[in-house]
Structure 1
């Protein structure tokens, strides 16, 4: 045989289905003039958001990987701070890999075949009126062939945490067999209050109640929770709880 045969055939290999792992974080980058809380963001402070994602499946392809983030109310983008994979890009929608339009930050990473982390970074300033608020920021990580996008999120608690109370008052007949009140019945009043804002301080919480005409206080019936102190004097009930940090 002068020349050997070389039979062959082509095999189509389907790529593996990619799967993303995504994270989002916020870092306190700079304090505004006059702000003194070094550990927590306050109005006027500068934050840096970092969104990162990676393909966790080797030998797979993500087609047209993108990260976008609509900056929530209460935060203001700092122009010129956008970075894609650590490289500065312009804010304009031009030929580079990122842009900022109408409060939405966008980064494009093209087709991704590796399992390395890909990042989008930008800075914001905490706007006026946000003290005591929780600002949640949700990003969207997507690709043309991903089954569903990732939505990494981060919540920023803006300080100082202004307390806000929620209170309620109820009355019941001490004789639980009765549905209505009659002269001579004993009425049990319960007044409750709580601070609804976590990580805030409610200074010198006090509950007072002036008994209306037609009711007589029952001596020895005053109960105060959480180690507070209680007093009945001149027709007025007073309960003091000091500083309250729980909810």
Structure 2
């Protein structure tokens, strides 16, 4: 923590040797020919502390360190492929570097929402990364994410939510396409398709589990009108028969 390596033994009751091992990388702040002294402090809170140290002298590399260029694979998912008008759905865009010990730089994700979808404010998040590792933005109908580099082979995921709005009522399908680029400038376009469903009913008869208030009200009113009409007709016929007799 805080660039310090810490180890603590509760007690040592024998004369065995104990070793603590850790690794470091000589970074770009090191100056060739200038010693770097790494000193430890060992304190048992009884005797004066020991301060063993090991100096190193960095040298210039024989040649620049080569970085293998990775290759990204992408996918786009939606949690509900047949949402009703007015429902909220969740999209996920995944990006993964598929090559071990390599780096993919300047990974950019753009997702312009198609007609029929409304962005839910505050829903754009990274499921797998700290905010320092990825820049997220929503502006003018477009979802944006940017990774300066991806140097591992983990799956990186951004998530956002949209509402299926009234503009989707007459659409058979809505395809949401993301545009993903990296330093290779070879774009990928993962997509996810939904088929909007009518909010009240889908077809002549209402389906189980849907909000059927309007259709049932209409049917009830129709039955009432027909029933009243039949009663009036029957009464007229009875009255005519009485007059005839």
User: Hey, which of these two has a bigger chunk of strand by percent?
Assistant: 1
| Shift in alpha-carbon separation, 1:87–1:15, aligned structure 2, 3 A | closer
Q: Is the 8 A contact 2:115 2:167 kept in 1?
A: no
Q: Is the 8 A contact 1:82 1:88 kept in 2?
A: no
Q: Is the 8 A contact 1:84 1:119 kept in 2?
A: yes
Q: Is the 8 A contact 2:129 2:156 kept in 1?
A: no
1:123 Cα offset (Å): 0.3
- In structure 2, which of residues 188, 192, 196 is the aligned counterpart of residue 158 of structure 1? 196
Output aligned runs, 1:48-59, within 5 Å. 48-59=90-101
Match of 2:63 in 1: 11
* TM-score, scaled relative to structure 2: 0.52
Q: Is the 8 A contact 1:42 1:160 kept in 2?
A: yes
| Shift in alpha-carbon separation, 1:87–1:76, aligned structure 2, 3 A | farther
Aligned residue for 2:79, secondary structure, equals: strand
Structure 1 spans left out of the alignment, 5+ residues: 1-6, 29-38, 90-94, 162-199, 204-247
Structure number with greater Rg is: 2
1:83 aligns with 2:122: no
Q: Is the 8 A contact 1:84 1:97 kept in 2?
A: no
Match of 1:27 in 2: 79
Match of 1:122 in 2: 160
User: 110-119 vs 45-54, which deviates more?
Assistant: 110-119
1:149 aligns with 2:180: no
Partners of 1:86 and 1:96 in 2: CA distance: 10
| Shift in alpha-carbon separation, 1:66–1:85, aligned structure 2, 3 A | farther
